[in-house]
Structure formats: C-alpha cells, structure tokens
Structure 1
Amino acid sequence: MRWLKVVIFSLVALIGGCKEEKLATGEPAPALAAFDLQGNESGLERWKGKSIYLNFWSASCSGCLAEMDALEALSKKWRDKVVVVAINTDPQAVSLDNLLAKHQVSYPVLRDQLQITQERYRIIGTPTSVLIDPQGRVLELHQGMRKPVELEATFARLAAQ
C-alpha cells in the first residue's frame, strides 16, 4: 500500500511538473499542448525561423471574430515572415468548421482542449495574443482586441524581427 502512495504521488508530481512551463518576455515561448483540427499534435518548432502571432480566441468572443478577417489578410500579406497561429479555447463540442469557412481562415488553427497551453501562456480571456520572434522567444503579451491599424503595425514590427 505504501508503494502505491509513492507511485501516485510521483505521477501527480510528474504531471504537475509538465505544466510548470510559464510565459516570460525575452524567454523561450512555452511549448504548445494543442492539436490541429485533424487531431494531430502541433508545436511551435513547425514555424521556427518565422515570427509568430499566437492568437488565443473563442467562437463566442465578439472581439475575436472581429479580428479574424484582418488576421487572415495580414497572414497572407506577411506570409514569408510572420505566421498567424490561432489557438481555440472552446470545448471540443463547439464546432468551428462553419465559422472558419465564413471568415475564409487559411492560417493554422489549433485546439487547446486540456487548457494546458492556456495555463502556460497565462490566458485569462480572449482575444489574447502573444508575439514570438523567429528564435522562439516571447516578445509581448497583449490582452484584448486590436484594431486593424494596430494589427498592421504589429505585423510590420514582427516582420522586421
């Protein structure tokens, strides 16, 4: 019985330790614990060498939906230097297909069903964006919606990295 308690405690400590990665400006961006829409695990290393506009969003967030069209246009304009990676925070039961089709979203969309990525990035609401440089370091965390003019300036700054 004692060994069982040791094993359980070790597993809890190990699992808890996996979530300890935290967001800090100037430091490497925390690993993603998110999956693409086909259910495949996805990580930031996929976009190494480009700046990343990591966008946490929800289907019920009006500010998130208001940014979608501008993010789509900017992702195409700056595709050689900046990639938009959208992390949806909704439960798996929320269908995204019609919404993404309506906004003609072509940038990568990931789902954070276990909310581990949200925890690592200290997300308390949507929309929240995290700017990551081509070397994978966190440049900035921004909570709230950005207007198209602000987004344009942000992308120009990211492209200059």
Structure 2
Amino acid sequence: MRMPKVIIMLLLTLLVGCKEEKLARGEAAPALAAFDLQDNAASLERWRGKAIYLNFWSAGCGGCLAEMDTLQALSQRWPDKVVVVGVNTDPDSVEIAPLLAKHGISYPVLRDRLKITQERYQVIGTPTSVLIDSRGRVVDLHQGWRKPEELQAVFSQLAQR
C-alpha cells in the first residue's frame, strides 16, 4: 500500500517541476519541429544571418490567404536580409500545393505535423507571425492578420536589423 503513495508523490513532484516555457522577446527562438514539402527536417540554422518572418497559416484562414501575395512580394524585396518561412498548421490530409501555386509562393513552406512547433511558438490561431532577428532572437509575436502597409513597415524594420 505504501509503494503506490510513493509513486504518486514522485509523479506529483515531477509535474510541479514542469513549467510552461514562454516565448520571450530577446530570447533565442525555439527550434523548429517541422518538415519542408520534400519531408526534410527544417532548422532555423538554414537561414542564420537573415531576419526571419515566421508565418503560421492554414488553408481555411481568410486572413492567412489575404497576406500571402504581400508576403511573396516582400520575400523578394530583401532576399539577402529577410526570409519569409510559412508554417502550415493543417493536417496532411489538406492539400496545400495547389494553393501555393495559385499564389505563386516561392518562399520556404513547412508543415507542422506534430503541432510541436506551434506549441513552442505559442500559436493559438492563424495567422500568427513571429519575427526573428539575424542572430536568432525573437523580436516580436503577432497574432492576427496584417494589412499590406503594416507588413511593409515590419519588413523595412527587419531589413535594417
């Protein structure tokens, strides 16, 4: 009878020791747990030295689709300084290739199959964007749609960092 109580106390102690990590400005951006469209594991290291506009989106999100054309244009404006990385949050059963082709998307797009990246970046809805500077530090987290002129201002600031 004593052994189950010991196990329960041990488990409670472990649970109390667990803490939720908060995405904090100025801290290192969490690692990605997502895959590109060719099923290769993705890493922020691939874009080290550039600012990253990490954009979480889903195919059924009107705001996400509204941002795509502007993000595509801005991704080509400062290619040596800022990279857009789209992170699709839909299940694999949702075919996104036709949608990407329709919008002419050439920036990297990842799929977050296990939802781990969404958890690490505290994504509670789409669109959600995380700005990461060229040193890999979180600059800002924004939930919701941005107007084209807002995106333009954000990219101008990122390009100057």
Same fold (TM over 0.5): yes
Greater Rg by CA: 2
CA distance in 2, matches of 1:22, 1:103: 33
Residue 52 of structure 1 corresponds to 52
Deviation sequence 1:41-100 (CA, Å, 0-9, x none) = 001000000000000000000000000000000000111100000000000111011000
Q: Which stretches in structure 1 are left out of the alignment for 5+ residues?
A: 1-5, 7-12
The Cα shift of 1:22 comes to 4.4
Q: Alignment partner of 1:59: what SS? A: coil
Aligned pairs, number: 149
Residue 129 of structure 2 corresponds to 129
Give me the CA root mean square deviation: 1.9
Q: Alignment partner of 1:64: what SS? A: helix
Residue 90 of structure 1 corresponds to 90
Structure 1 contact 64–145 (Cα < 8 Å) conserved? yes
CA distance in 2, matches of 1:39, 1:84: 19
The AA in structure 2 aligned to 1:115 is K
| TM-score w.r.t. length of structure 2 | 0.87
Structure 1 contact 130–138 (Cα < 8 Å) conserved? yes
The AA in structure 1 aligned to 2:32 is L
The Cα shift of 1:23 comes to 1.7
Q: 1:124 to 1:132 in 2, by over 3 A?
A: same
Residue 68 of structure 1 corresponds to 68
* % identity of equivalent residues: 70
Q: 1:131 to 1:137 in 2, by over 3 A?
A: same
Residue 107 of structure 1 corresponds to 107
The runs of at least 4 consecutive aligned structure 1 residues that moved more than 3 Å come to none
The AA in structure 2 aligned to 1:38 is Q
| TM-score w.r.t. length of structure 1 | 0.87
The Cα shift of 1:24 comes to 1.2
CA distance in 2, matches of 1:80, 1:46: 13
Q: Alignment partner of 2:84: what SS? A: strand
Residue 3 of structure 2 corresponds to none
Deviation sequence 1:119-153 (CA, Å, 0-9, x none) = 00000000000000000000000000000000000
CA distance in 1, matches of 2:115, 2:80: 30
CA distance in 1, matches of 2:81, 2:97: 27
The Cα shift of 1:21 comes to 5.5
